[in-house]
Structure 1
């Protein structure tokens, strides 16, 4: 796994995760520092809790006050430290096995980012690259949508996405930007090289400077009865196509 640099705090307070998948994945991640766990007696039964972890037993209503309204906490809430940074050089050092890379250009919605993480892990992606300032921080909503992938998938945050795309190209990746206005279908853009998929925010799409750092722009061949797909759905389809292309070589 890519090496991790010293973490830097991205929120004024430590994020809180909720729900069984997010909480159990965090507990199983040796790189994750957990400050405190709140749980109901039923939810914590059978969970292997580290002996040095502070645990507070609470009722369902008490847990509800620790998370956003109507958040499905399933009897478990934890407060954590953000994971340490991953340098892009360290992430790309593990790029020799042909796995795809996912890059997000200003996708700020935590539900979309978390769902993309889940798909990226499902299709064995090398990791995720985002900008540091224009991406969602670690949060309960992101961890819930990622369904445990936040703790496993390497996530590299960079200051300059265009510069990072140059480094990704130097590492041997063919950079495909997904754009609904592109003339080429994704199947035609997938080549023999390692694949990096770049996706932009819904509505705005890829920024011009990011698009200019792609080797190809491609679209998903969807029906003209609908204008576009949700970015997380588009990412899942593109990852599936990239995996099939890799396996057929």
Structure 2
């Protein structure tokens, strides 16, 4: 899957200003033999910010530039890889969430593949006071421009975390005092149950398959939204919104 949350910029001035303004620069590539004050500044600022800097020989750099931009000459010998958003470590997310309120809510998304759904979920999450969103490293929609647009910019106001192991992330959240509530059509308990009076993680499953059974086993409880029509499930972003605002309703009583 092409990662549309990553894009590239080129040119010495553009990259230097991006580093100065603390944009989400992830990597720097530059051509062997480049010299000058701007190159020195780029390398210095990148290393200061702990951004990896890779020097390629001229042939390899030209191949990279031609592949990305169709022309190596206009890059001025330097390319930067950027991300639309900054992801934070799960430990930082937990610390930030618990530091801001007594009973924070964190959202965990299990393989949400549609950027529009991701954006809609992020918008509802931000509006309902969610502390952050945890995404799997693989098999999940990246934060694309379409997702940002669908979120009406809400993604920019949320703490986002990627994890390579969702089960380990759940265990870490439990160890920090969070109660894990999953969503499943087979659940016996309704989403309206009075179970949100503590630090809470809500797990929303994939649009088609729902939550993986392996994740369900690690939840403290599972809830369902009653389905009264002929279609057997709601859109993931709609389900998420219903549950998040039930939490808001219960806590504002």
Separation in structure 1 between the aligned mates of residue 186 and residue 229 of structure 2, nearest angstrom: 12
Greater fraction of residues in helix? 2
Please state if 1:109 is matched with 2:114.
Answer: yes
What is the aligned partner in structure 2 of residue 175 from structure 1?
180
Separation in structure 2 between the aligned mates of residue 226 and residue 240 of structure 1, nearest angstrom: 23
Separation in structure 1 between the aligned mates of residue 5 and residue 238 of structure 2, nearest angstrom: 31
The superposition leaves residues 154-205 of structure 1 with CA deviations (integer Å, 9 ceiling, x where unpaired) of 1100000010011111121111111112111011262421221101112211
Q: Check conservation: 1:15, 1:138, Cα contact below 8 A.
A: no
**Equivalent in 214, 228, 235 of residue 240 of structure 2:** 235
Q: Check conservation: 2:136, 2:164, Cα contact below 8 A.
A: yes
What is the aligned partner in structure 2 of residue 76 from structure 1?
none
The superposition leaves residues 64-109 of structure 1 with CA deviations (integer Å, 9 ceiling, x where unpaired) of xxxxxxxxxxxxxxx9633332000000002321221110011111
**3-state SS of 1:177 partner:** strand
Separation in structure 2 between the aligned mates of residue 136 and residue 32 of structure 1, nearest angstrom: 22
Q: Check conservation: 1:31, 1:83, Cα contact below 8 A.
A: no
**3-state SS of 2:7 partner:** coil
Cα distance, 1:15–1:179 mapped onto 2, change above 3 Å: farther
1:8-87 mapped onto 2 (5 Å cutoff): 10-11=3-4, 14=7, 32-33=23-24, 81-87=83-89
**3-state SS of 2:193 partner:** helix
Cα distance, 1:175–1:80 mapped onto 2, change above 3 Å: same
TM-fit CA distance, 1:32: 4.1
Cα distance, 1:12–1:195 mapped onto 2, change above 3 Å: closer
Structure with bigger gyration radius: 2
- Aligned pair count? 183
Please state if 1:92 is matched with 2:85.
Answer: no
What is the aligned partner in structure 2 of residue 68 from structure 1?
none
Q: Check conservation: 1:128, 1:155, Cα contact below 8 A.
A: yes
TM-score (norm 1): 0.67
TM-fit CA distance, 1:225: 4.2
Q: Check conservation: 1:173, 1:195, Cα contact below 8 A.
A: yes
RMSD: 2.5
Cα distance, 1:173–1:238 mapped onto 2, change above 3 Å: same
**3-state SS of 2:173 partner:** helix
Cα distance, 1:151–1:221 mapped onto 2, change above 3 Å: same
What is the aligned partner in structure 1 of residue 133 from structure 2?
128
Unaligned segments of structure 1, at least 5 residues: 1-8, 17-29, 35-78
User: After the TM superposition, which parts of structure 1 deviate over 6 Å for at least 4 consecutive aligned residues?
Assistant: none
Separation in structure 2 between the aligned mates of residue 225 and residue 136 of structure 1, nearest angstrom: 28
Cα distance, 1:31–1:164 mapped onto 2, change above 3 Å: farther
The superposition leaves residues 127-151 of structure 1 with CA deviations (integer Å, 9 ceiling, x where unpaired) of 0001011221221211111110121
TM-score (norm 2): 0.66
